[in-house]
Amino acid sequence: MKLSSPTGLVSVVVFMFAFGFMLVPLYDVICEVTGLNGKTAGQYEGEIAGDTSKNRDVKIQFLVNRNANLTWGFSPNTVEMKLPLGERRETSFRVVNTYRKDVVAQAIPSVAPAEAAPYLHKMECFCFQQQPLTAGETKDMPLVFFIDPELPDHITKLTLSYTLFDITDTVAKTKTEKPESKIVDHS
Amino acid sequence: MSELTMTTDHHDHGPAKGIGRWLFTTNHKDIGTMYLVFSLIMFLIGGLFAFVIRAELFQPGMQLVDPNFFNQMTTMHGLVMVFGAVMPGFVGLANWQIPLMIGAPDMALPRMNNWSFWILPFAFSMLIATFFMDGGAPAFGWTFYAPLSTTYAPPSVTFFIFAVHMMGISSIMGAMNIIVTIFNMRAPGMSLMQMPMFVWTWLITAFLLVAVMPVLAAVVTMMLMDIHFATSFFNAAGGGDPVLFQHVFWFFGHPEVYIMILPAFGVVSEIIPTFARKKLFGYHSMVYATVSIAVLSLVVWAHHMFTVGMPIAGQLFFMFATMLIAVPTGVKVFNWIATMFKGSMTFETPMLFAIGFVVLFTIGGFSGVMLAIAPIDFQYQDTYFVVAHFHYVLVPGAVFGIMAGVYYWLPKWVGRMYDEGLGKMHFWLSFIGLNITFFPMHFVGLAGMPRRIPDYALQFADFNMMASAGAFIFGTSQLIFVYLIIKAARSGETADQVPWESAEGLEWTLPTPLPYHTFTTPPVIEK
Amino acid sequence: MRQIMHLFGMALLVSSGSALAAWELNMPRGVTETSHTVYDLHMLILWICVAIGVVVFGVMFWSIYAHRKSKGAQAAQFHESTTVEVIWTIIPFIILIGMAIPSTTTLIDMYDSSESDIDIKVTGYQWKWHYDYINDGVDFFSVLKTPKEEIYNEQEKNPNYLLDVDNELVVPIDKKIRFLFTANDVLHAWWVPEIAIKKDTIPGFINESWTRIKEPGTYRGQCAELCGKDHGFMPIVVKAVTQPEYDKWLADQKAAGAAKAAEADKDWTLDELVTAGAAVYQKNCAACHMPDGSGMPPAFPALNNNPMMQGDDVTAHMEVVINGVPGSAMAAYGKQMTAVDLAAVITYKRNTWENKTGGMVSPADVQAFMDK
């Protein structure tokens, strides 16, 4: 089959259409490896690894955003902390559902500078799951993490931001088709 | 269909009569004509939208339209011009000229050819119908960035997506037809390296189309799924990423830019040698330059996205790759000038358009080099400087390319000469009008005017007024072109078989007026 | 080299007539180290392009002039020369490398991620900006100040037409300021030409950029990414001041925040609320619902003669204003406005045009609603 025959060309078209979709996982992989766009990886499994001998302190700053004019309360319980590389830390974020109805929230993490994103390892994060909140509920949501000792030397401070999205409608929409929503896969 | 079966029974008969000729035709000449007429109509409609834009921007303050309608105008102007005017215009030229230039009796897949044209009127009717829908037409720019085009889009976005799908299918079929025709139907003895430049550039364009139009189809399909099937390709809430949209879109979008300009390179490479009475300089390097432009165009897309916050390595890669495109593009410009150098030039309308093309496209190329430099692109990105840049490469680039081709081949197509005086008037008015329109946009852009705004600060007022005045000159002078074509087709003087002294190529070996079927016996290629 | 460039610049300036025109012609040089580098790089590339243009077009116009058939020119026969073609492939390549080197160093400098003195989070909203001084607990919205009358040509336009906001972003000079960008709804881009920052704000993601402003002054910019209807009406104003002035401003902001909170406890009368509400309405609501409440149906419903504004069910009305209407352009103003402003605007809408309920909603009512 020659590339320039009609069948060859049709297969190029089909391939390129599929390629368009293949760009999605490809992009996610590139993001995870390079920290493009500040995306962080999923749950970190295993031990704290890396050369801890550098014994350097870095600052981490926690930021929150509410998407689409959400009126919910959402704030970090610690605004900023200083910690040695390779040390496991715990902190938490408080969310208040100010609506008079049950909702489902999803937090999306992002790191600045984006270059630091692959070095932030989260063992436990509220962003791994959808967070159902009953009307008026207040909840402290945990985050357990450490910063990789391999963090490039010129980075002394990083910002971890969570944006809270209201996904109540989306969850209701997909529930009938897919009980296990794939929504949290990337975060 | 019976008409068609009948017509293929005998040779040397004319076309079928009535509307059926156009609906059912499989003749490359008829289809080429339909594409070109369609392109002209779309050019005028898109121009009308531009009129509304420039009228609103004539003075600071909101005068004529509301901001939302203004956004609909900028969006539809872009979509109609890119997908309705420029692309079908070049496909029209290809349909007419490729069989004539390679000595083929018709396109290789004539029925598909008919189909690929007839999809277009439906696609654009659907697109334009969105104006009358609840919430109005798409108002998110021709680049339709998510989430403005997904979560925040008007309901008409679904029709927009289907319209884009249809345009895409039409372009892909057109491109496949061109590739198959060029590979299989060249006159015996014509090697690839003997093909005219126009055929070469279209071959490469067609490969680009086949490669990237499906990616456009993929990106709008993802949008459709995000909007209606609760997926999250571009929605951060579900783990998606709005920036991913831009990556996929520009993976299509940047080659698209070259899809719109490469065939114009080909047209100009035909015209300049004719009127310089000298062979095209550096045919081989022209071919190689075109191929390298096409290949590079696939790896530079993110230079449209320098401000999204990429890692520095990414910025540097896309900056260097983009700058590299200047090399083969430069080679082309130098070759055209070397062709003119020591020639014996005359300046009929096609040549005027071709020279206008070389000069103004090069200016657009210079601003392109400036835009490629990432750290200073931060200051240019999404300003009128960008608007000036791409209008310089698209109006005197793509549009002049199509017009030059029409003037050049019209005597062969209709068998009659156009009015040279009117043609020159059309050129000069267009040339002056477009420079008055687009040159000041460089200044307002540098001074800080963002694009796609319906109203602007007072320091931009003078140049905007000037641009609007220029747009009025440019726009109205296109009516001359319409009148000129009608006049030539109806009552022009009978053209000679070779209307241009020293024009070379198989198309000029055919008699004038051109029979309905040509090269039913393949020509003999010398050499 | 730089001097020559300035000479050229001066020539351009003189030939164009006035200093005002010069400002309109070119990129501003700006007030930061980065913006100066960017400006110089821009001028360098521009003049390289001009020089190439002069040579290329020079040859072309000369042959158009000299090699015309009407002048009796005979066409030469050459159509190939490998040497020439190699030369004009290599020369542009070398020029490009010359351009790439300064560009790369500038870019690396822009990516400097060392620690800053002040962190400010910038959030793009449809269609306004929100600034959050992360470490000082000061945050506010910054909204277009140009009145509708100027936009609709009923009043003469002031010199800062469309480039004026109610609350400027105040920053100290000579301090490293780090901006963190994000968005609330769609993409926006924060751009101030004089400090040479343009960054997209993306919902769900943060971007960063930094600056160190050298001169006090007011620097104006605009949103640079199409973000919907009022994309052209969300300017940015940065006011750079000295450190003492900045400290005073910051203290004032904190005090004002406390005063605002106290205001809610005051006893408000219907007339006071309607008057205050009219101003809030013009600033926040009139763009979509129109100054006369006629709206732009179907996207933006009319408020005049709207049953919700005329009926007794105040709660429904508060629900819409405070929590917004999901899936529509109606934002939730609960987190964007004080209880006083919310009460004022709700009361105003219930007592203006043809909506004459005569009833009022007090700040305490609003607070109670939000606390529930």
pLDDT one-digit tens code per residue, A70-126:
667 788 888 889 888 888 889 999 888 777 778 888 888 888 888 888 888 888 888
Q: In this structure, is residue B515 part of a structural domain?
A: no
Q: Tell me which of C113, C126, C136, C371 to substitute to probe the interface with A (most A C-beta atoms closer than 10 Å).
A: C113
Strand order in the sheet with A80-84: A80-84, A57-66, A157-166, A103-112, A131-133
Question: pLDDT at position B7, please?
Answer: 42
Structure tokens at A175: 């529930």
Cis amide prior to B22 (ω within 30 degrees): no
Of A39, A100, A156, Cβ closest to residue C372: A100
pLDDT in tens, B279-336: 999 999 999 999 999 999 999 999 999 999 888 888 999 999 999 999 999 999 999 9
Structure tokens at A97: 């559902």
Q: Where are the beta strands (DSSP E) in chain A?
A: 57-66, 73-76, 80-84, 89-96, 103-112, 120-125, 131-133, 138-147, 157-166
Question: pLDDT at position B527, please?
Answer: 58
Q: In this structure, is residue A186 part of a structural domain?
A: no
Q: Which residues of C touch A156 (CB under 8 A)?
A: 114-115
Phi then psi for C105, rounded to 5 degrees?
Answer: -65, -40
Structure tokens at C165: 């906001």
Closest chain B residue to C72, measured at CA: B344
- Tell me the CATH number for domain C2-66+79-110: 1.10.287
Is the minimum CB–CB distance between B232 and chain A shorter than 8 Å? Answer: yes
- CB A53 within 8 Å of CB A36: no
- CB B117 within 8 Å of CB B94: no
pLDDT tier, B6 (very low <50, low <70, confident <90, very high otherwise): very low
Q: In whole angstroms, give the CA distance from residue C51 to residue C85.
A: 20
Q: In this structure, is residue A187 part of a structural domain?
A: no
Q: Which residues of A touch B248 (CB under 8 A)?
A: 20, 23-24
pLDDT tier, C18 (very low <50, low <70, confident <90, very high otherwise): very low
pTM of the shown model: 0.87
Number of neighbouring beta carbons within 10 Å of residue A83: 15
Contact check, Cβ <8 Å, A13/B176: yes
Q: Give DSSP secondary structure letters for B5-65.
A: HHHHHSSS--PPPSHHHHHH---HHHHHHHHHHHHHHHHHHHHHHHHHHHHHTTSSS--SS
Pair (A119, A163) in one structural domain: yes
Question: pLDDT at position B349, please?
Answer: 95
CATH number at residue A133: 2.60.370.10
> Residue-wise over B401-422: b if at least 16 C-beta within 10 A, else e?
bbbbbbbbbbbbbbbbbbbeeb
Residues of chain C with CATH 2.60.40.420: 118-261
Question: pLDDT at position A28, please?
Answer: 80
Question: pLDDT at position A186, please?
Answer: 39
Question: pLDDT at position A183, please?
Answer: 42
Q: What percent of chain B has pLDDT over 90?
A: 85
pLDDT tier, C350 (very low <50, low <70, confident <90, very high otherwise): confident
Q: In whole angstroms, give the CA distance from residue B350 to residue B272.
A: 9
pLDDT in tens, B147-195: 899 988 899 999 999 999 999 999 999 999 999 999 999 999 999 999 9
Q: What is the average pLDDT score of chain A?
A: 79
Q: Domain range spanning residue B445? A: 31-509
- The SS3 call for residue C297 is coil
CATH number at residue B392: 1.20.210.10
| DSSP letter assigned to residue C228 | S
Question: pLDDT at position C296, please?
Answer: 80
Contact check, Cβ <8 Å, A115/B311: yes
Of B180, B247, B313, Cβ closest to residue A4: B180
Q: Which residue has the tokens 């075109």?
A: B290
Contact check, Cβ <8 Å, C75/B338: no
Q: In this structure, is residue B9 part of a structural domain?
A: no
Q: Which residues of B touch C59 (CB under 8 A)?
A: 337, 341
Q: In this structure, is residue B527 part of a structural domain?
A: no
Q: What is the average pLDDT score of chain B?
A: 92
Going by C-beta distance under 8 Å and a sequence separation of 6 or more, which residues neighbour residue C11?
A: none
Q: Over 80: is that where the pLDDT of B448 sits?
A: yes
Pair (A68, A135) in one structural domain: yes
pLDDT in tens, B507-526: 999 998 899 999 999 998 87
Specify which of B244-248, C12-16, C335-339 reaches the highest per-range mean pLDDT: B244-248
Q: In this structure, is residue A122 part of a structural domain?
A: yes
Q: What percent of chain A has pLDDT over 90?
A: 3
Q: Tell me which of A5, A183, A184, A185 to substitute to probe the interface with B (most B C-beta atoms closer than 10 Å).
A: A183
Q: How far is C341 from chain B (nearest CA, A)?
A: 27
- Mean pLDDT along residues B349-378: 95
Q: Over 90: is that where the pLDDT of C371 sits?
A: no
Pair (A26, A60) in one structural domain: no
Of A71, A80, A112, Cβ closest to residue C208: A112
Integer Rg of chain C from CA: 28
pLDDT in tens, A18-35: 888 888 888 887 777 776
Would you say the C-alpha torsion C79, C83, C88, C90 has a positive or negative sign? positive
Q: How far is B81 from chain A (nearest CA, A)?
A: 24
Residue B90, Cβ density class (10 Å: 0-12 exposed, 13-18 middle, ≥19 buried): buried
User: Which of the residues of B are catalytic?
Assistant: 77, 106, 142, 170-171, 254, 256, 258, 269, 303-304, 329, 332, 451
Q: In whole angstroms, give the CA distance from residue B202 to residue B182.
A: 9
Question: pLDDT at position C273, please?
Answer: 83
Is the minimum CB–CB distance between B314 and chain A shorter than 8 Å? Answer: yes
Q: How far is A164 from chain B (nearest CA, A)?
A: 8
Q: Which residues of C touch A79 (CB under 8 A)?
A: 134-135
What single-letter amino acid sits at B362?
T
Q: Quick one: how far is CA C114 from the chain centroid?
A: 26
Q: In this structure, is residue B21 part of a structural domain?
A: no
Residue C271, Cβ density class (10 Å: 0-12 exposed, 13-18 middle, ≥19 buried): exposed
Question: pLDDT at position B352, please?
Answer: 96
Specify which of A2-11, B321-330, C327-336 reaches the highest per-range mean pLDDT: B321-330
What would the 3-class secondary structure string for B236-248 be? HHHCCCHHHHHHH
- Mean pLDDT along residues C120-125: 94
- Mean pLDDT along residues B40-47: 96
Residues of A with CB under 8 A from a CB of B: 2, 4-6, 9-10, 12-21, 23-24, 27, 31, 34-39, 67, 106, 108, 114-115, 163, 165-167, 170, 173-174, 182-187
Pair (A29, A114) in one structural domain: no
Q: Which CATH number fits domain C118-261: 3.40.50.2020, 2.60.40.420, 3.30.70.20, 1.20.210.10?
A: 2.60.40.420
pLDDT tier, C1 (very low <50, low <70, confident <90, very high otherwise): very low
Q: In whole angstroms, give the CA distance from residue B226 to residue B237.
A: 12
Pair (A65, A124) in one structural domain: yes
Contact check, Cβ <8 Å, A112/C322: no
Closest chain C residue to A80, measured at CA: C135
Q: In whole angstroms, give the CA distance from residue A173 to residue A31.
A: 28
Q: What is the average pLDDT score of chain C?
A: 85
Closest chain A residue to C200, measured at CA: A37
- Mean pLDDT along residues C298-316: 80
Q: Which residue has the tokens 């203290």?
A: C251
Q: Number of residue pairs across B and C with CB atoms under 8 Å? A: 286
pLDDT tier, A53 (very low <50, low <70, confident <90, very high otherwise): low
- CB A92 within 8 Å of CB A143: yes
CA angle C36, B440, C49 (to 5 degrees): 55
Question: pLDDT at position C265, please?
Answer: 67
* Chain B contact partners (≥3 CB pairs within 8 A): A, C
Of B211, B233, B239, Cβ closest to residue A16: B211
Q: Of the ranges A137-141, B140-144, B301-305, C306-310, which one carries the lowest mean pLDDT score? A: C306-310
Question: How far is the first Cα of chain B from the last one, in angstroms, to the nearest whole number?
Answer: 42
> Residue-wise over B171-203: b if at least 16 C-beta within 10 A, else e?
bbbbbbbbbbbbeebbbeebeeeebbbbbbbbb
Q: What percent of chain C has pLDDT over 90?
A: 43
Question: pLDDT at position C9, please?
Answer: 46
Q: In this structure, is residue A184 part of a structural domain?
A: no
Q: In this structure, is residue A181 part of a structural domain?
A: no
pLDDT tier, B415 (very low <50, low <70, confident <90, very high otherwise): very high
Q: What percent of chain B has pLDDT over 70?
A: 97
Pair (A91, A129) in one structural domain: yes
Contact check, Cβ <8 Å, A166/C372: no
pLDDT tier, B250 (very low <50, low <70, confident <90, very high otherwise): very high
pLDDT in tens, C145-188: 998 889 998 888 898 999 999 999 999 999 999 999 999 889 99
Pair (A155, A99) in one structural domain: yes
Going by C-beta distance under 8 Å and a sequence separation of 6 or more, which residues neighbour residue B301?
A: B247, B250, B251, B253, B254, B318
B219 vs C11, more confident: B219
Q: Domain range spanning residue A69? A: 39-175
Strand order in the sheet with C118-125: C138-142, C128-133, C118-125, C177-183, C207-211
Cis amide prior to C203 (ω within 30 degrees): no
Q: How far is A71 from chain C (nearest CA, A)?
A: 6
Pair (A30, A113) in one structural domain: no
Strand order in the sheet with A120-125: A73-76, A89-96, A138-147, A120-125
Kind plus residue range of the DSSP H or E element containing C98? helix C82-110
pLDDT tier, A48 (very low <50, low <70, confident <90, very high otherwise): low
pLDDT tier, C8 (very low <50, low <70, confident <90, very high otherwise): very low
Strands C118-125 vs C177-183: parallel, antiparallel or unpaired: parallel
User: How many domains does chain A contain in total?
Assistant: 2
C134 vs B527, more confident: C134
User: How many domains does chain B contain in total?
Assistant: 1
Pair (A11, A44) in one structural domain: no
Q: In whole angstroms, give the CA distance from residue B384 to residue A57.
A: 46
pLDDT in tens, C24-66: 688 889 999 999 999 999 999 999 999 999 999 999 999 999 9
Q: What architecture (CATH level 2) is domain C265-371?
A: Orthogonal Bundle (1.10)
Q: Which residues of A touch C334 (CB under 8 A)?
A: 71, 98
Specify which of B137-146, C1-10, C296-305 reaches the highest per-range mean pLDDT: B137-146
Q: Which residues of A touch C328 (CB under 8 A)?
A: none
pLDDT in tens, B99-136: 999 999 999 999 999 999 999 999 999 999 999 998 88
ipTM for this prediction: 0.90
Pair (A8, A97) in one structural domain: no
pLDDT tier, B198 (very low <50, low <70, confident <90, very high otherwise): very high
Pair (A20, A49) in one structural domain: no
Helix axes B420-447, B461-491, angle to 10 degrees: 160
Q: How far is A45 from chain B (nearest CA, A)?
A: 20
Q: In this structure, is residue B390 part of a structural domain?
A: yes
